[in-house]
């Protein structure tokens, strides 16, 4: 089973529109076809971002976010990174690389191409949701 780290922006997109992020969350994570790797720091970010008032303009966003967070809590596999990395200017994104190192993730799926300007880190491929969906044989 692939070990995958899903960046927060992918979950936000999955809750707003039915595109590649939605397919990844519904068809791969919810159906338990991938192992979602999480850490306490990343989980805290999921909760913080998915509860932002600006998302209230999307119908049922918070209800669906609550269900998704429950699934993440229940199905995600938690890791405890011990090595600090300072590679990305946006310090919050370094925690994803720290988690990838700890769990030896196969993929990081992110829509953040501004900060994740490289395609691989220590054997972990970094892909947009579209590229991940189209290139992996799991879909």
The single residue listed with the structure tokens 């990081």 is 108
Q: Give this prediction's pTM.
A: 0.94
Alpha-carbon distances of 3 from 14, 29, 122, 125, rounded to whole Å: 19, 11, 14, 11
Q: Looking at residue 28, what is its pLDDT?
A: 86
> What per-residue confidence (pLDDT) applies to 139?
45
pLDDT at 40: 97
Q: Indicate the domain borders of the chain.
A: 2-135
Go through the chain and tell me how many residues it has: 139
CB-based burial of residue 71 (10 Å sphere; 0-12 exposed, 13-18 middle, 19+ buried)? middle
Sites in the chain below the pLDDT cut of 50: 139
Torsion of CA 22, 29, 100, 18, to 10 degrees: 0
- 2-135: CATH superfamily: 5'-nuclease (3.40.50.1010)
Q: What is the DSSP letter of 52?
A: -
């Amino acid at each position: 089973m692939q070990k995958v780290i899903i960046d927060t922006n992918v979950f936000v997109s999955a809750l707003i529109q039915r595109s590649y992020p939605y397919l990844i969350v519904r068809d791969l994570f919810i159906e338990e076809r991938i192992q979602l790797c999480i850490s306490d720091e990343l989980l805290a970010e999921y909760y913080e971002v998915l509860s932002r008032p600006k998302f209230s303009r999307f119908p049922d966003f918070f209800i669906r976010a609550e269900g998704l967070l429950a699934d993440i809590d229940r199905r995600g596999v938690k890791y405890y990174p011990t090595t600090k990395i300072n590679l990305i200017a946006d310090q919050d994104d370094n925690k994803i690389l720290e988690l990838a190192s700890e769990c030896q993730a196969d993929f990081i799926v992110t829509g953040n191409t501004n900060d994740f300007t490289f395609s691989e880190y220590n054997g972990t491929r970094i892909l947009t949701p579209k590229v991940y969906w189209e290139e992996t044989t799991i879909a």
